[in-house]
Amino acid sequence: MVAVSNYVVRFVNARIGYDEPVIKDITLSIPRPSLTTILGPNGSGKTTLLRAIIKYAKVFGGYAYIDGREISELSIGDLPKYVSYSPAEIYSQMALTVLDVVMSSRNSGGWVSRDEAIATLRYLGVGNIVGKRFDELSTGQKRLTLIARALSSKAPLLLLDEPTSNLDLGNKYRVILILRRVVSDRGITVIATGHDIDLALASDWVVAIRDGEVMAMGAPGDIINSKVLSELYGIDVEVLEVNGYRLIHVRNDR
């Protein structure tokens, strides 16, 4: 079990939403450094949790902390020191170069510099696309560009909403390997949302939420099992162990 002092994000009996709470009395903790995946069906509150950390969603009651500080006490201007966010949506109509997109990020000292942006793209293995237009990239390249934009802020906490969505098998695993490398090389905590069981299995910590409530939380081996996944998604899921790997099978015979 991770010590409380090593939790980078904590919610305690938090009620979170927009005009009104959609998440009620949620309590969870995210260890650092780690790759953490938040799993849950559509509408379960995954994105709302991330948005609460960047003060886009409102905490109506309870407590929410980054690095032991209440999120309510942090100004919008101070947030880049603590956290960077990459949304799930990819706006293909942006007539900007990849370099422009990455340099639109902010860090504690202001806007990300050209050198910092190029260095981050090279670190992610996509330095060759620096001058290309964002709207002409493949889906995988767009996703890596947005991850580079978030990573270039050098914040210790990186929030990624559905980072592997709409990616082919090769690009999905490239993203997963990159996220693992970011955690090990830089000591960053990455919190990713989505439905990707492979991403969850590659994580250090998994949170399963449904209807705005935490169903389960722990190491992947404790969460990726038939009982939790069946209850989480409301279908009959069987998790098979084959040569040390976990395979997901959805039963349709009953």
Tens of pLDDT, residues 42-78: 999 999 999 999 999 999 999 999 998 999 999 988 8
Q: What pLDDT shows up at residue 253?
A: 57
Q: Which two tokens stand for residue 72?
A: 């309510």
Name the pLDDT band for 1 (thresholds 50, 70, 90).
very low
> Peptide bond preceding 87: is omega within 30 degrees of 0, i.e. cis?
no
Q: Which two tokens stand for residue 134?
A: 């964002």
Q: Per-residue pLDDT for 254 more than 80?
A: no
What is the rounded CA–CA span in Å between residue 245 and residue 146?
30
Phi, psi of 203 (to 5 degrees): -85, 165
Q: How far is CA 216 from CA 32, 70, 156, 198, 223, in A?
A: 19, 24, 25, 18, 7
What is the rounded CA–CA span in Å between residue 120 and residue 176?
17
Residue extent(s) of CATH 3.40.50.300 domains in the chain = 1-82+155-227
Q: What is the separation, in whole angstroms, between the first and last Cα of the chain? A: 38
Q: How far is CA 16 from CA 58, 77, 81, 253, in A?
A: 6, 21, 23, 39
What is the pTM for the complete model shown? 0.90
Homologous superfamily of the 1-82+155-227 domain (CATH)? P-loop containing nucleotide triphosphate hydrolases (3.40.50.300)
The residues, any chain, with a CB within 8 Å of residue 77's CB and separated by 6 or more, are none
The closest alpha carbon to 216, from 226, 73, 150, belongs to 226
Phi, psi of 23 (to 5 degrees): -115, 125
Q: What pLDDT shows up at residue 92?
A: 63
Residue 32: other Cβ atoms inside 10 A: 20
Name the pLDDT band for 116 (thresholds 50, 70, 90).
very high
Name the pLDDT band for 87 (thresholds 50, 70, 90).
confident
Question: What distance lies between CA 70 and its chain's CA centroid?
Answer: 20
